[in-house]
Structure 1
Amino acid sequence: MSLSWSAAIGAGIVAGVVATGAQIVLWWSFTDALPEILFRDARLAAAILMGPEVLPPPATFDWQVMAAATFIHFAISIAYGLILAWLISRFGMSTAFSLLAGSIYGLTLYVMNMYGATFVFPWFSAARDWITVVTHVVFGISLAWTYKALSKTQ
């Protein structure tokens, strides 16, 4: 099975949206921090491009921060989508095995993002919690499922 670039890119975008939606639902269900936690996490991502000067409180809406965070979020989601799609294609995984691989991939991304990336961007340590773990697993599963679905249509 060969890699479908368009399916991988599409899966990265879809998984980025699904994971963000899941994270917002979990925040809404288990914390009383919305929308501040959303604005905080947007600042954490935006600081990759804009620098750490966007980090200090208050965590309020800023369209430039949200635009930078959205760009970073989808660029990374697409890159991660290409990697998982390559693995799924390379090993000819069934849908069930792809979903299992996606969940493991999501956990791996959590460790890489929340522990590895903090060597360069230490501010991400603020987002280490169970909701972020679950969100990464949701990302991996939705990435695998979407890639499998989109690559069948091509």
Structure 2
Amino acid sequence: MELHMHSHRWEQRSPDWTVAAVSGFAAGAVLMVLELLWSTVIMGASPWETSHMVAAIVMGQDVLQSTDFNLTIVAVALITHYVLGVVFALILATVMASFHFDSSVGMALLVGAIFGLLIYLFNFYGMVRFFSWFSEMRSWATVVAHAIFGMVVAAMYWKLEQAEK
């Protein structure tokens, strides 16, 4: 029996794009539920406030004037949220495949958590320059939710990729 150690050096290796997209979509749903639960149950805010913030990325700041339910705003927010989730998952899958971080579920979870934290920093300290209204969402709950997002993407990618082999 041969003991095989996985090297985590870069190698030109393509990820499974379909698996990555599905993983990002599912993790986006998990993140959305966590954000809705946190904002409504813990913070006592409108469940539609986050939707208005996300939709404002595409529709402009005028949608921030209200936090009432609006089907168009919610639809735009969902589409934007899921597109971003899939894009981030494609990036993470590229990193995981290129560096063999998909060699074990533990490694995938660690890399996913770190990636989620990097997304948090990018979104809430980088992109906030363009979308200032997100600065009010800076919190430990949002940090944890983004780490969970990364972990869900990575774990699903790892599991679904194993099933494809």
Please give the TM-score of this superposition, normalised by the length of structure 1.
0.91
Measure, in 2, the Cα distance between the counterparts of 1:74 and 1:53: 22
For structure 1, which segment, 3-12 or 21-30, has the greater mean C-alpha deviation from structure 2 after superposition? 21-30
Gaps of 5+ in 1: none
CA deviation map 1:71-119 (0-9, x unaligned): 1000000000000001111111222111001111111111100110111
Letter in 2 for 1:50: M
Partner Cα distance (2:99, 2:28) in 1: 24
Q: Deviations over 1:37-79 (max 9, x none)?
A: x31111111011111111113x111101100000100000000
1:82 and 2:96 matched: no
Identity %: 33
Residues 22 and 138 in structure 1, CA contact (< 8 A), matched pair in contact too: no
What is the aligned residue count?
150
Which of 119, 122, 128 matches 2:129? 119
State the match for 1:62 in structure 2. 70
Distance 1:48 1:26, change over 3 A: closer
Say which of 23, 27, 32 aligns to 1:15.
Answer: 27
AA aligned to 1:81 is: A
Q: Which residue of 2 aligns with 1:96?
A: 106
Q: What CA distance in whole angstroms lies between the structure 1 residues aligned with 2:34 and 2:128? A: 23
Q: What is the CA–CA distance in structure 2 between the aligned matches of 1:112 and 1:31, rounded to whole Å?
A: 24
Q: Hey, what's the Cα distance between the residues in 1 that align with 2:37 and 2:77?
A: 19
- In the alignment, the residues of structure 2 paired with residue 60 and residue 25 of structure 1 have an alpha-carbon distance, to the nearest angstrom, of 17
- The reply on whether 1:47 has 2:56 as its aligned counterpart is yes
Instruction: Report the AA paired with residue 51 of structure 2.
Output: A
- Structure 2: which 5+ residue stretches go unaligned? 1-12
Larger radius of gyration: 2
| Contact 1:20 1:135 (C-alpha < 8 Å) held by counterparts | no
**Residue identity opposite 2:21 in structure 1:** I
Matched, 1:151 2:161: yes
* Corresponding residue SS for 1:61: coil
- Asked whether the equivalents of residues 55 and 63 of structure 2 are also in contact (C-alpha less than 8 Å), the reply is yes
